[in-house]
Structure 1
């Protein structure tokens, strides 16, 4: 088998293992948000397969390999996990289609994308449709109500959708952290009400991937360590001007999804050990900065895309270090 084909087979096998590792997080999302999350996932997967098939037809390539591309399915699942569970159907379709087309196929397809497709799609719809992207359900709906909500043919119950814990904290000016946790339904025990459990589930999946050696520990450690350090340095207790504790930031938003399933993406991420560590550290730092002082409640997608641009520079830094160590 030619080396290129062998490398492609290894990539596809790794992507299938990643798909398996997302199961705990997806089940936890379904537990909290019900049918909306499942329909979101189906829309993302269906759009991904449609785009892959369409691109294969345009390039006159075999259809079967395109439909079996596990990397496209991984992008679909990660995007569905990050999008609001009851967003309109077109939000998922636009995010998935744009992410694959502009984040992957314009650069030549699988193995050639400089940007993470799922995060590019997420960032695009976040910029274009900020209102739809910041409203998360307080609980799930029955299947019939879910279909009406996602299709836009029905009206959700009053006060059913709410801002996330990160968004509430970012705009808070009067309540202390203790008051927010005691009175606001978006807050749980340590982080976001549902997000803390979802983060723990994706952490379990990430540990499984580390144990299977699907990726190295450098990028996840870099991201989580930098997020921990910057949130600890900027934490000023539970006052009304608090930016949240380190534990709050680790268990809110898409932190663990980002640390173990996004910054570890093998194509758009860094390749060498030091570059991976720096890449993850940059994502963690930028995520906190955007969360706290930026205009968006969770800056993970923007942080990943910005660090994707820095990958060549990070690789050069590591190459120069290697020359100095081994002249």
Structure 2
């Protein structure tokens, strides 16, 4: 550990659970990204999340629970469609928005009546949630608007001294945030595409609607995290090009490339991150934020990124690129 580091990395689940129960902040791994967790029933602890991330309070948090029974205790209604989805996809990268009970802090939901809630599919996360015995509100464990963390070191790089413990569970397997589906609308509505492809949802419950982000409402209460027009963004300027387009560095600028598969690459790039040699979208998703973070650390003037096929996980990856490029 660097001598200047103030945040402890640990695999001690008991210590992390004690920290959560006592009002502390614990970063922990999920299958999607690392979350910055606090007891969702404790408004003072939840407020520390917003302070630590410098996150606006109109952007809500997702609550993590150990199992379906725990979820039922936190919501006013758990309809049959929710049970169908839970049976099919929990534990996993699906967040359901359901009417919350009063014990969930209004700060978690930006004052809205619905809470996004899920059961994560990571052994350390599930062990932590069971040991803590409380619902855990947890956005991604990084400064607000920046690149999401997929390793414990990413968390410490961004939040050193602002999180009490980081539970180190290695790299995240899915690599992009959960799909958020609201069940508080007439037709189930995808608020944020993510680690569960929309096609998989529709195979279980039929057609779903898709929310459209409205940049004019960026400073209003959001129904889900990840809906702001700029998010997941590197400090370096990011430009997105078509998946089949030949990438060319910007003349006179230190240029990086985020690509995948056998995409043709012109010479002259100062750095290249190829997310998957075979264009496998699961591999691309698992490596996406780490690849973007690597390029952002190399003192570049611009990052050029190939877009992804508009199906499966490509929908979520293109959503992240769109918001990262602002």
Structure-1-length-normalised TM-score: 0.28
Larger fraction in helix: 1
More relative contact order, 1 or 2 (CA 8 Å, 6+ apart): 2
Structure-2-length-normalised TM-score: 0.29
